[in-house]
Structure 1
Amino acid sequence: MKINHDNSIKIIPLGGLGRIGNNMLIVEIKEEILIIDAGGRFPENELNGVDLIIPDFKYIEQNAKKIKGLLITHGHEDHIAAIPHLQKKLKFPIYAPKFASEIILNKFTQNQKLSNLNITPISKGIVYKIGNFKVKWFEMCHSIPDSTGIFIETPFGKIIHTGDFKIDHNPIIGNPSNLSELANISKDKILLLMSDSTNANEEGYSGSDKEVFENLFNIISKSKGRVFISSFASQISRMQMIFYIAKLCERKIAFAGRSMIRNAKISKDLNYLEIPNQSEVPLSQSSKLTDDKVIIMITGSQSEPGSSLVKLSCNQHKKIKIKKGDTVIISASVIPGNEIKVNRTIDNLVRLGAKVITEKNFNIHVSGHAKKEELSLIINLIKPHLYLPIHGDYRMLQANANIAKENGIEEKNIFVLDDGNILEIQGKSGNVSGNIPSGSLYVDKSGNILNNTNLIENQSASTNNGVITISCIREKKSGKVLEAVTVNQLNISKEKNIKKIIKELQNIIIKSITQNNSKNLDLEQNEKILEKKSRDYISGNMKKMPIVIISTIQI
C-alpha cells in the first residue's frame, strides 16, 4: 500500500505494549502530535539505585515542536509517573481528569525543580479543540476515581482509546462506564478502537466491589485484634469500603504511608471519599484505642522498598509494631515480578505473630480491568473498522486480538504491535510502516535519569544467576539470634554442594550478627555487612553470583 503521509494517521506506542506498565502512546497527523498517557513501572527485580522505569521519549524530544498536548486517561502511576521527567525537558499542555490533575500537581509541588505546569482539568463530555484534533473524555469505571476513555476526531478518521476500564454497574465510588455515551459517539463510524488488554486472557466478567465488601466485612467483624489493610494507595473505592465497614464494626481508621494519606486527602477534597465524622484518627493516637477498635490502612501491598508494610514486617516502623493477635489483610493482587518480595514480607509478618490474609485465601480483591465478555461488549457497541489491543504483555494483546476476531473484525484490520512500531492508517487501511527506537529509561530515588543503562540491564540480567534470601530474627538488647537462620534459594538448586553452601551461610550470618552487636549498628548497617560477607563467601564458592537479599527482624 502506497501511503500519502500527509493524509495518514500514525499510532506509535512508546510503552505498554508487550509489557505491563509504562503506558505511553502517540497519535500523529501531518505536523501535529498528541501523547496519550505517560506512565512508568517499578523494577521487577531489585536493581540497585533504580526507583522507577519510564519509556524512552527520544522521539518526543526530536519532534517537540509538533506536540499539541498530553492527554491523561486517569491517575494511576503506570499512566502518569513519567510526566515530571518529560516536563523537565519539554513544556507542553497537559489535559487530565480532575483527580489525576490533583495527583500530578502534587508530584510537582513535592519537586522543587519543577514549575510552570500547564495543566487543564477536563470536564467529561466537553469537546476540546487541540490543534487540528477534537478531543472528548468520557466516563469509564476503573479502580481509581475519574477514570476515562478518550474520543479523538482527526481530519482523517475517528479514534477511541478506552483507557483502563471494567463494566461494573454498581461501583463503590464514581459512576459505571458510560456505555450510552460510547454508543452515541459510535453512531458516526469509528475508524480505530484501542482497547485495554490486561485481563483479555480471562473468561467472563471482572467481579464487582460489592462482593469484596461482603468478604472484608466478614473478616473484620470477626477479628478480635487490630486489623491492618494494605492495598494500592490509589484504590479509593477500597478505602471508601473500609470506612463503611469501620463504621459498622465501630472501629476507627488510621493511615500509614504518605501516598495513602495524600490520596485520601485529594479524594476527600474532591468529594470522592466520604469520611464519617470522628471515624479517622492520627496513626500516633491509634495505640490509645483498644485493639478491637482499630483499623490501620497501610501502603506496601507490593512490598515496595521503604513502604510502611515492609517496615512493619521488619519491625522497623517508628510508630507501630506487629504483635500477636493482629490481622493483616493484603487486599491487592501481586504484580508479576513482585512475588519474592511479597512472600518475604508475609513470612516476616507471620514470624512476628500476625495472621495474614491474601486474595489466595479469600475473595478480597477484584481487578479494575475488563475480562473477555466485557471486551466483547465494547467491540460490539463501538463496531470499529480497525482494532489495536493496548496495555498488556504480548499474550494479553494476542488474546485481545483473538476476541476482536471472534466478534467480527477482519484479521487484516487487527494489529498486535510492539513498542516502537508505527501503525500508519490511510483511508480504511492500516499498515505497520516502520519502527522508531524505543526502550526504557531508569530513574534513581532522587528523580535523576541514569545514564549507564547498559550497566543496569546487565544487572537485571543477573537475576538469571538466581536469588538467595537470608532471613533471621534477633533480640534487640542481647543481639542473640532467636531462631534458626533461614536461607532460601531460587534457580540455583543445581549448584554443586548447595546444601553445604547454605549451611555455611547460616554460620556466617550467626557469627556476623554476634560481632556486629558490639558495634551498636542500626538494622540497615547490620544488613549491609551481612550482605557483603554473604557475597564474599558466595563469590569464592559458587560458579555464578546470585542476587542476595537479607531480611533481619529485630524484636
Structure 2
Amino acid sequence: MRVTPLGGLGDIGRNMTVIEHHGQLLIVDCGVLFPEDDHPGVDLILPGFGAIADRLGDVVGLVLTHGHEDHIGAVPYLLKQRPDIPLIGSRLTLALLREKFKEHRLRHTVELIVKDGEQTQVGAFDLEFVAVNHSIPDALAVAISTSAGRILHTGDFKMDQLPLDGRLTDLRAFARLGEAGVDLFLVDSTNAEVAGFTTPERDIAKALGSVLDRSRQRVIVACFASHVHRVQQVMDAAVAHGRKVVYVGRSMVRNMGVARDLGYLHVPENTLIEMRDIENHKPEDVVIICTGSQGEPLSALSRMAANEHPVIQLRRGDTVVLASSLIPGNENSVYRVINGLTRLGAHVVHKGNALVHVSGHASAGELLYCYNIVKPRNVMPVHGEARHLVANADLAVATGVPRKRTIIAEDGVVVDLQNGKASVVGKVDAAYIFVDGATVGDISEAALTDRKILGEEGFVSIVAVVDTRTGKVVSGPDIHARGFVEGDSVFDSVRPQITAVLETALAEGVDDTYQLQQVIRRRMGRWVNDTHRRRPMIVPVVVQT
C-alpha cells in the first residue's frame, strides 16, 4: 500500500490522507485549515487536491472519521471536481455533511452510513470501524486491510473513561487488531506533548455551574459549532439554573438542529428561544451559545466584541465563557476578542482561569497505552504541527517501536508499505489551496505576499508621460500614496530625481515601457528606504507619446 498525506502534517487542520492499492485510491478525511494573520483575504485553506487531480476516477471511497471542519470541511470542494465519490462515515458525520452540501448547492447521494464494529469492503480495501471518544459524537477510527498489510488510523481521539454519551474508545478492538497485526499505525498527535491523561469531559460541569451561580446577568458561551458534548453541558447547566438558551451563529444553529434531530443532543421542553426574542427575557434568565471561540473575524463573538452584532450588545457585567482551547496560530485573534469583550465591561472566563474546557485529544499517557496494546510494526504520527509529530514519534520509540520504523513525514511525502516495512519513497506537491470568496485555487503565494505588503507597508503609485523622440518627461511624475504617508507633498524632493533618471535612460536609448518603469521603481525604492525605512508596494506607470 502507498500512503500519501495531503494535509494535516505540520498544521492543525486540513486533514487528508490518500491510501493506494492495486491502482485504487481510498481517502481518509478531507478537512479545511482556517487562515492565520499571514493569509490576508483568505477564507479557507484546502488540502493539496492537485496531487490526485488527474486520478479522481480511481477514488473508490472517502472515509470520514468524524464531523469536525478540519476533517470534513473540504469535502464539498472535492466533490465539485468529482460529484459521485462514495462517502463513508457515521450517521452524525454524514448528516452534518448533507447540511454543508445545501450551502454549496451540491446533490450527493452516494454514501454508506457505518457503525462502530462494522466491517465493509470498498474496492480493494477491507474496512473495519472502531469507536473512539472525541469532542463530537460518532467519531471512528478505521482499520484498512489489503493483501499488502493493515493500517490503523485513529482519527482524532482520546480515552475519556467517563464520556458524556457513555461511548468509550474501544480498546479491546485496538488490542484485537494489534494481535492480528498492525503494519502501520497512523496516530493523532495533537496532545503528544501533554503529559498524563486528558481530563474527563464531565469535569467541566462544576466550573460551568460555578459561572452561572456567580453571574447576575447574561452568560455567553463560545465554543465550536460541532462540539455537541460541550453544548449539552451548557444546556444542562442552564436548565439547572432556570435559564433559557439561545443559539447564535448560523453554523451553531444548523449543527445543533442536526444533532437534536438525530438524538445526539437532548434539549428539554421550553428551553430554546429564538435570538429575536432575547430582549423579552431578563438578562439573568438567558444563556447564549455562540460561535467565535477562535476569534474568527465574522463570527458572532467577534462581532459582539467589536460592538457590531445586529442583535446582541454586550452590557457591563455580562459573563463570556470561551469553552475551547487555542488552536495554534489563532492566539492574536483570540486575545483581540478577549480585550474587546473586557473593554465593553464583560467578565471573560477561559481555560487559563477556569476549567471550562478539556481537550478532545489523547495526551501522552493515553498514546503510550495505545502503542503498548497495538504493538505496531511501523508508526507514522499524523494530525499536528512538527513538534507534535516528533513528540508522538518519541512516545512510540519509548514503547519499543524501532526509531527507523517511525516516520516523521510532512504533507506530500509518499510512504510505501511493503513486506511489513514502511519507508519514504518520494514526495508530491501538497501545497495550500486557498479559498477567497468564490475563488478556489487562483490565489498564489505571490498574491498573498503582495497583500501583506499592501496591508503592512502601503503602496506608492508613480505616473509619468515621456516623449521618446525628444527624450524628455512631458508630464509628471505624479506620485500618490495610500497607507504610507499623509500628503503627497512629502515626495517633492524625489520628483526631480525620478525625472532625471528617466531622461538619462531615454538618452541612453531605453524606450521600452517596462524597462522605464523599472528605472522608476529602483529610484523610488532607494529613496523610500533611505528616508522612511519602509518597503511599500511601488506601482510605476510610464505612458509614451
Q: TM-score, normalised by structure 1?
A: 0.81
Contact 2:322 2:350 in 1 (8 A): yes
In structure 2, the residue matched to 1:99 is 92
Contact 1:145 1:174 in 2 (8 A): no
TM-fit CA distance, 1:116? 3.3
What does the per-residue CA deviation read over 1:121-171, in whole Å, with 9 as the maximum and x for residues that have no partner?
Answer: 222212111111111111100001111100111111111000000010111
Q: Does 1:425 align with 2:426?
A: no
User: Percent of pairs identical after alignment?
Assistant: 34
TM-fit CA distance, 1:263? 1.1
**What CA distance in whole angstroms lies between the structure 1 residues aligned with 2:280 and 2:24?**
59
In structure 2, the residue matched to 1:11 is 3
**What CA distance in whole angstroms lies between the structure 2 residues aligned with 1:276 and 1:146?**
22
Q: How does 1:55-204 map to 2 (within 5 A)?
A: 55-90=47-82, 91-112=84-105, 114-173=106-165, 175-204=167-196
Task: Report the AA paired with residue 92 of structure 1.
Answer: I
**What CA distance in whole angstroms lies between the structure 2 residues aligned with 1:234 and 1:76?**
6
Alignment RMSD (CA, Å): 2.4
TM-fit CA distance, 1:452? 3.4
In structure 2, the residue matched to 1:458 is 449
TM-fit CA distance, 1:465? 6.2
In structure 2, the residue matched to 1:33 is 25
Q: How does 1:455-534 map to 2 (within 5 A)?
A: 455-459=446-450
Task: Report the AA paired with residue 455 of structure 1.
Answer: A
Structure 1: 5+ residue stretches without partners: 1-8, 468-500, 505-537, 547-555
Q: Does 1:395 align with 2:387?
A: yes
Contact 2:40 2:451 in 1 (8 A): no
Equivalent of 2:282 in 282, 287, 290: 290
What does the per-residue CA deviation read over 1:494-548, in whole Å, with 9 as the maximum and x for residues that have no partner?
Answer: xxxxxxx99x9xxxxxxxxxxxxxxxxxxxxxxxxxxxxxxxxx999551469xx
**What CA distance in whole angstroms lies between the structure 1 residues aligned with 2:234 and 2:534?**
50
Q: Which SS does the other structure have where 1:187 is aligned?
A: helix
Structure 2: 5+ residue stretches without partners: 459-482, 487-527, 538-545
Contact 1:45 1:460 in 2 (8 A): no
**What CA distance in whole angstroms lies between the structure 2 residues aligned with 1:445 and 1:294?**
35
In structure 1, the residue matched to 2:201 is 209
TM-fit CA distance, 1:445? 2.5
Task: Report the AA paired with residue 75 of structure 1.
Answer: G
Contact 1:45 1:463 in 2 (8 A): no
Q: Does 1:543 align with 2:531?
A: no
What does the per-residue CA deviation read over 1:379-405, in whole Å, with 9 as the maximum and x for residues that have no partner?
Answer: 111111111101111111010000000
TM-fit CA distance, 1:464? 11
Structure 1 residues 138 and 422: alpha-carbon distance in aligned structure 2, compared to 1, 3 A threshold: same
**What CA distance in whole angstroms lies between the structure 1 residues aligned with 2:311 and 2:452?**
38
What does the per-residue CA deviation read over 1:283-321, in whole Å, with 9 as the maximum and x for residues that have no partner?
Answer: 121221111111011111111121111111122111111
Q: Which SS does the other structure have where 2:315 is aligned?
A: coil
Structure 1 residues 545 and 42: alpha-carbon distance in aligned structure 2, compared to 1, 3 A threshold: farther
In structure 2, the residue matched to 1:485 is none
Structure 1 residues 310 and 39: alpha-carbon distance in aligned structure 2, compared to 1, 3 A threshold: same
**What CA distance in whole angstroms lies between the structure 2 residues aligned with 1:329 and 1:541?**
44
In structure 1, the residue matched to 2:435 is 443
**What CA distance in whole angstroms lies between the structure 1 residues aligned with 2:391 and 2:455?**
28
Q: Which has the higher mean CA deviation after the structures are superposed, 260-269 or 47-56?
A: 47-56
Contact 1:146 1:174 in 2 (8 A): no
Q: Does 1:49 align with 2:55?
A: no
Contact 1:47 1:459 in 2 (8 A): no
Task: Report the AA paired with residue 196 of structure 2.
Answer: G
Task: Report the AA paired with residue 104 of structure 1.
Answer: L
**What CA distance in whole angstroms lies between the structure 1 residues aligned with 2:223 and 2:536?**
34
Structure 1 residues 47 and 437: alpha-carbon distance in aligned structure 2, compared to 1, 3 A threshold: closer
TM-fit CA distance, 1:117? 4.2
**What CA distance in whole angstroms lies between the structure 2 residues aligned with 1:128 and 1:74?**
18
**What CA distance in whole angstroms lies between the structure 1 residues aligned with 2:176 and 2:421?**
24
Q: Which has the higher mean CA deviation after the structures are superposed, 160-169 or 91-100?
A: 91-100
Contact 1:41 1:78 in 2 (8 A): yes
**What CA distance in whole angstroms lies between the structure 2 residues aligned with 1:108 and 1:423?**
32
Q: How does 1:310-321 map to 2 (within 5 A)?
A: 310-321=302-313
**What CA distance in whole angstroms lies between the structure 2 residues aligned with 1:460 and 1:153?**
46
Task: Report the AA paired with residue 292 of structure 1.
Answer: E
Contact 2:26 2:61 in 1 (8 A): yes
In structure 1, the residue matched to 2:477 is none
Structure 1 residues 246 and 463: alpha-carbon distance in aligned structure 2, compared to 1, 3 A threshold: farther
Task: Report the AA paired with residue 87 of structure 2.
Answer: I
What does the per-residue CA deviation read over 1:153-204, in whole Å, with 9 as the maximum and x for residues that have no partner?
Answer: 1111111000000010111235111112222233311111110001101111
What does the per-residue CA deviation read over 1:82-139, in whole Å, with 9 as the maximum and x for residues that have no partner?
Answer: 1111111123111111111011111111222x22342222222121111111111111
**What CA distance in whole angstroms lies between the structure 1 residues aligned with 2:302 and 2:135?**
23
TM-fit CA distance, 1:375? 0.3
Structure 1 residues 459 and 245: alpha-carbon distance in aligned structure 2, compared to 1, 3 A threshold: farther
In structure 1, the residue matched to 2:496 is none
**What CA distance in whole angstroms lies between the structure 2 residues aligned with 1:84 and 1:283?**
29
Q: Which SS does the other structure have where 1:171 is aligned?
A: coil
TM-fit CA distance, 1:59? 2.1
TM-fit CA distance, 1:377? 0.7
Task: Report the AA paired with residue 453 of structure 1.
Answer: S
Q: Which SS does the other structure have where 2:239 is aligned?
A: helix
What does the per-residue CA deviation read over 1:202-227, in whole Å, with 9 as the maximum and x for residues that have no partner?
Answer: 11111111221111111111111110
**What CA distance in whole angstroms lies between the structure 1 residues aligned with 2:444 and 2:241?**
51
**What CA distance in whole angstroms lies between the structure 2 residues aligned with 1:22 and 1:147?**
17
Q: TM-score, normalised by structure 2?
A: 0.82
In structure 1, the residue matched to 2:541 is none
TM-fit CA distance, 1:64? 2.0
Structure 1 residues 429 and 298: alpha-carbon distance in aligned structure 2, compared to 1, 3 A threshold: same
**What CA distance in whole angstroms lies between the structure 1 residues aligned with 2:457 and 2:281?**
45
In structure 1, the residue matched to 2:495 is none
Contact 1:19 1:392 in 2 (8 A): yes
Q: Does 1:371 align with 2:363?
A: yes
Q: Which SS does the other structure have where 2:112 is aligned?
A: strand
Contact 1:47 1:456 in 2 (8 A): no
Structure 1 residues 55 and 331: alpha-carbon distance in aligned structure 2, compared to 1, 3 A threshold: same
